[in-house]
Amino acid sequence: MTVDFKAEVEKRKSDMMEDLFSLLRINSERDDSKADKEHPFGPGPVKALEHFLKMAERDGYETANIDNYAGHFTFGEGDEELGIFAHLDVVPAGSGWDTDPYEPVIKDGRLYARGSSDDKGPTMACYYGLKIIKDLGLPVSKKVRFIVGTDEESGWGDMDYYFANSGLKKPDFGFSPDAEFPIINGEKGNITEYLHFAGKNAGDFTLISFTGGLRENMVPESATAVFTADSSLADLQKDLEAFTSQYPITAEVSEDNGQFSVTVYGKSAHGSTPEEGINGATYLANFLNQYAFEGAAKAFIALTANVLHDDFDGKKIGVAYTDAKMGALSMNAGVFSFDANSDDNTIALNFRYPQGTDAKTIQAELEKLAGVTKVTLSEHEHTPHYVPVDDPLVATLLSVYEKQTGLKGHEQVIGGGTFGRLLERGVAYGAMFPDYVNTMHQANEFADVEDLYRAAAIYAEAIYELIK
């Protein structure tokens, strides 16, 4: 049977965009301050999950909600099962938007909203790809389980809970529409390691607090330090103006009851590509490093300024490593937390590492850093993942991509982590096309509208080829 999948998408463009807009209007950021038994990651992710599952029920699918952690709907019958893994949670919107991040708007062919490219836009494109197969009644021999999570951007607690409590075995093979074409069949390992600092402050300058970063997998767009100083506001303002004139940042300083506050603004980016951002926290430390801080504050500031700043490949901290197939290790200094009233201040470093090194090897080197009292690891680690290019899953997905685009397909390994790695035979597939502008985890995130329609057609044919 020959189907013009592009033409089928054309018939459904307005419906697809209407459904996507309704999903993008839901603020599904994780909010631990409002988390409870009914809302494990806060109300927003639950609202998005319920909305998506109601949409699937509207279209005639059988759905399941696994205690508001994750959910799925199913299609088709067969002994083998294709899994499609997407996520409905988003990273915090942050500041610097030209539009309301939760009121989607299309300008010059671009759809602006938090989640438009990561991952609600691709999720909807894939949803409509499968919907076309269902609407047309195409014959299939395998089952499809479309699974949506609510904690992909944080700790993947959604998928841990889902597989432990859904009562279902993992699908036999599958993909996640949460990256780029032509395919992602390899993903580096992912671990966050925490540098701890202890001790009392001293010196002519005393650090009261230093905060920066919203998530470990985001480059901090800004950071703020509060301190007392043997200086005047005018002198600090002069120093700050001289400092910012040298770099692509902005900053401000103020005084309140003898305490000074300095905020530096950079640019956020995805934690897997820290070199694409401007780390407000490490630039703030560079500014403060000229002053006479002592003790734990001195260690915290000096290490950030002298070692972590612009050390995207881990060379300065001694953990740089490159694998011939998976590429180089990368490091994002993501979250900074210093409080003068605490004896345990931390810097969270997120590493994307290739095969050939591991979390313990990285930890051993970090423990050698001056001023660091200990190094701890996050509970969740993803080890390197790879599906050979000659696997039928990879070969089929590349073939459909080549057929629809006329472009040559090839394998890719990334530092980003996707739900594709949940399966031994799992990959990431779309929805971004080569040479796209990557605004994931940034202000003014957008997806090209026509690219989402193109992706929907690719997903439709790819799913059909895998289950027909």
- Residue 292 sits in a domain whose CATH number is 3.30.70.360
> Tokens 């942050």 label which residue?
94
Contact 415, 165 (CB under 8 A): no
According to DSSP, the residues that pair with 115 across neighbouring strands are none
Residue 8 tokens read as 């089928």
Q: Please determine, for residue 390, whether its predicted confidence score (pLDDT) is greater than 90.
A: yes
Does residue 452 sit in the same domain as residue 430? Answer: yes
Q: Last residue of a domain, which of 357, 377, 397?
A: 377
Does residue 41 sit in the same domain as residue 172? Answer: yes
Mean pLDDT, rounded, for 52-70: 98
Does residue 352 sit in the same domain as residue 458? Answer: no
Does residue 349 sit in the same domain as residue 463? Answer: no
Residue 319 tokens read as 């953990």
Distance separating alpha carbons of residues 89 and 44, to the nearest angstrom: 8
Does residue 323 sit in the same domain as residue 433? Answer: no
- CATH number of the domain to which 421 belongs: 3.40.630.10
The DSSP string of 55-85 is HHHHTT-EEEEETTTEEEEEE---SSEEEEE
Domain region containing 287: 191-377
Q: Last residue of a domain, which of 311, 343, 377?
A: 377
Residue-wise pLDDT tens digits, 175-212: 999 999 999 999 999 999 999 999 888 778 999 999 99
Pairing of strands 173-176, 426-428: parallel
Distance separating alpha carbons of residues 23 and 118, to the nearest angstrom: 12
Residue 10 tokens read as 């054309």
Does residue 373 sit in the same domain as residue 362? Answer: yes
Which residue from 430, 423, 351, 432 is spatially nearest to 385, judged by alpha carbons? Answer: 423
Does residue 343 sit in the same domain as residue 407? Answer: no
According to DSSP, the residues that pair with 189 across neighbouring strands are 353
Does residue 211 sit in the same domain as residue 181? Answer: no
Residue-wise pLDDT tens digits, 411-461: 999 988 899 999 999 999 999 999 899 999 999 999 999 999 999 999 999
**Angle, alpha carbons 420-12-171 (nearest 5°):** 25
Which residue from 391, 381, 404, 395 is spatially nearest to 461, judged by alpha carbons? Answer: 404
Does residue 296 sit in the same domain as residue 362? Answer: yes
Does residue 180 sit in the same domain as residue 197? Answer: no
Number of domains in the chain: 2
Residues annotated catalytic, as ranges: 89, 152
Which residue from 74, 68, 72 is spatially nearest to 151, judged by alpha carbons? Answer: 68
Residue-wise pLDDT tens digits, 224-281: 999 999 899 999 999 999 999 999 999 999 999 999 999 999 999 999 999 999 999 9
Q: Last residue of a domain, which of 317, 348, 377?
A: 377
Q: What share of the chain is helix, strand, coil (3-state, %, to 5)?
A: 30, 25, 40
Question: 105: which residues sit within 8 A by CB, 6+ positions away?
Answer: 99, 111, 112, 113
The model's confidence at residue 76, banded by pLDDT at 50, 70 and 90, is very high
Does residue 341 sit in the same domain as residue 312? Answer: yes
Residue 291 tokens read as 């002053």
Query: Given this model, what pLDDT does residue 380 score?
Result: 84
Does residue 66 sit in the same domain as residue 140? Answer: yes
Distance separating alpha carbons of residues 187 and 125, to the nearest angstrom: 23
